[in-house]
Chain A
Amino acid sequence: MSFVTLENVSHAYGGKGTALAVENLSIAVEEGEFAAVVGPSGCGKSTLMKLATGLQFPFKGSVKVANDVVRQPVKIAGMAFQAPTLLPWRTTLENLLLPLEIVPPHRSNLRRNRREYVARAENLLKSVGLAGQSGKFPWELSGGMQQRTSLCRALIHEPKLLMLDEPFGALDAFTREELWCVIRDLHASRKITVILVTHDLREAVFLADRIFVMSSRPGRIVVERKIDIPRPRDLEVTFTAEFQDIVHELRGHIVKARQ
């Protein structure tokens, strides 16, 4: 049984009869797997995210997460987007504690066990290279540091599912590669299920166990590609012929999907 399953899902934001965002979309992601979804722009990748987290509901087909049919927001997911969306009136630490103020049982324990939660947040910050930054406000951090904070916020409540919607799209190339490694290590150490939506093919191949290629709108999965490059993967792997071949192959699929 897969952890996240979408079966023959069709969705239109204006309800049935309006323009479809996705059509007959089926995808199954295993527990602990790192899945990447790539496709031409506007193909419904973000819709897929919203469906899988219960922020939108399809008019046709079924969505299941952790064996339950999704009828409301799933509550076991952490999300990060291209924009870091940090709260400017909160420090890095306070931004990290935000999910804990909402998710039970933490929301009722937070005040009593604040010290433990703060320690947990500081540890998480350290693991992404942000030790000592917890007292700073978002505007005092660089774009890459803000995005790391955003990732930490998506992980602080130890979700079983991490949804990433082009989280590195707005970063420079070097920072982006640094953060690939951060995500790679977080995934390896936490055995968390990750669904990454991106249009950077190198990013997808470097990080994912499996890549799903979507067609142009209305989106559905046209190709599923397993990535067998052994883990742990080093950035050097991106310069090998094997890696380049996979990127090429995927690129071909996307070019076809755009037509």
Chain B
Amino acid sequence: MGTWSIRAAPWLFTLALFVIWEAVCIVFKIPVFFLPPPTAIAKATVEFWPAIYRNSFITLWSTLLGFGMAVGFGLLLGLVVGWSRTIYAGLYPLMIGFNAIPKVAVVPILVLWFGIGFIPAVLTAFLISFFPIVVNVATGLATIEPELEDVLKALGASKLDIMRKVGIPRTLPYFFGSLKVAITLAFVGTVISESVASNNGIGNLMLQAQAQFQVPLIFAGLVALAVEGIVMYWLMAVLEARMTGWAQRSGFAQN
């Protein structure tokens, strides 16, 4: 057992979900246009593969671009906010207010500025995903042990020294942890924008499928999104483990 069961568990659980789903659809005779069984979704996926394939990549690129911007901007803003208490005090309420705005309400404004299509999708992904990165980076900096700061200051360390030697390295686990949240949010942002204001992407594909009452295709779009989300999340988790292995040695969740 042991490692074998852990390795197999994700596949078995996923398989179990689909089997139960299929069984429920058959036993309760649920109509396909209400809730399609996984086999119908698979069939739709094969049938519409070129469209799903093309739109998946459009969604993926928009998401990755928006996410990339969020990483750059979030990291920078997090460092700035963590650097000075005054900036922290000034920006925090603004950021919280901004984060509270539903991003679907921002899409029309973006369309007004940039027209429909690729750019609003990228920007929505960016806007929705930078906040957790900022908060996490700032938290990492704010929780430097004061004693350690004293040790370094008594050596004549400048604020920049302390930032470089202690602040940034100790912030990395928070930063990489936040990437996992941010990448999933970025997908949400892209799809919101695509379904409101685009002629491309999985979001748009699902909207069109809905208009034509092709329910299995809607679900095929959802599955495509889920797969992309899982792959990206997994990549972020691998990156996190590689970059900050020192912070992950707890045996807490190892069984």
Contacts and interface: CB of A to CB of B under 8 A. Distances in A.
Interface of A: 50, 53-55, 72-75, 77-81, 83, 85, 87-89, 98-99, 101-104, 137, 139, 153-154, 157, 163
B100 interface: no
Contact of A89 (B152, B154, B169): B169
Contact of B154 (A79, A87, A137): A79
Interface residues of B, number: 20
Nearest to A85: B148
Contacts of B165: 87, 98, 101-102
B17 interface: no
Interface stretch (B103-111, B155-163, B208-216): B155-163
A75 B151 contact: no
Given A55-B150, A79-B150, A139-B249, A87 B156 contact: no
B150 to A, nearest CB: 6
- The 8 A-B pairs with the shortest beta carbon distances in the complex, nearest first, are A75-B156, A85-B148, A89-B246, A81-B147, A53-B154, A102-B157, A102-B155, A77-B154
B154 A163 contact: yes
B80 interface: no
Contacts of B166: 87
A179 to B, nearest CB: 18
Given A81-B151, A101-B165, 6 more contacts: A50-B150, A75-B154, A75-B155, A85-B147, A85-B148, A99-B155
- Secondary structure of the B side of the interface? helix
Interface of B: 145, 147-148, 150-157, 161, 165-166, 169-170, 244, 246-247, 249
B161 A102 contact: yes
A85 B246 contact: no
Contact of A103 (B156, B169, B170, B249): B156
B173 to A, nearest CB: 9
Given A87-B169, A101-B165, A73 B145 contact: no
A137 B155 contact: no
B154 A54 contact: yes
A55 B147 contact: no
B246 A88 contact: yes
A96 to B, nearest CB: 13
B163 to A, nearest CB: 12
A153 to B, nearest CB: 8
Nearest to A88: B246
A73 B158 CA distance: 10
A148 to B, nearest CB: 16
